[in-house]
Structure 1
Amino acid sequence: MTDSHAEPQPIPQGDYVAAKRHGGLIYTAGMTPRENGRMIMTGPVRSGQIETLQEAVTLACANALTAAEAMLVPGETLATILTMTVFVAAEDGFSEHSKVADIASAYLRKRLGSRGICSRAAVGVASLPGNAPVEIQLVAAV
Structure 2
Amino acid sequence: MNKIIEQPIPQGKYLPAIRNADIIYTSGMTPRKYGKLLYFGKIKITDPIQSHREAIRLATLNALTAVQNRLEAGEKIVLILQLNVFLNAEEGFTAHANAADYASELLIENLGTNCIGSRAAIGVASLPSNSPVEITMTAKVDINT
TM-score with structure 1 setting the length? 0.94
Corresponding pairs, count: 140
Q: Distance in 2 between matches of 1:81 and 1:50?
A: 24
What amino acid does structure 1 have at the position aligned with 2:57? Answer: T
Instruction: Report the counterpart of residue 100 of structure 1 in structure 2.
Output: 99
SS at match of 2:98: helix
Residues 1:15 and 2:13 are matched in the alignment: yes
Cα deviation digits, residues 98-123 of structure 1 (max 9, x gap): 11100000110111102532310011
- The structure carrying a bigger strand percent of its residues is 2
Structure 1 unaligned blocks of 5 or more: none
1:81, 1:115 within 8 Å by CA — same for their partners in 2? Answer: no
Q: Once the 2 structures are TM-superposed, how far is the Cα of residue 77 of structure 1 from its aligned partner? A: 0.7
TM-score with structure 2 setting the length? 0.93
What amino acid does structure 1 have at the position aligned with 2:116? Answer: I
Structure 2 unaligned blocks of 5 or more: none
1:112-123 equivalence runs, <5 A: 112-114=111-113, 116-123=115-122
Q: Distance in 2 between matches of 1:115 and 1:79?
A: 10
- Root-mean-square deviation (CA), in Å? 1.1
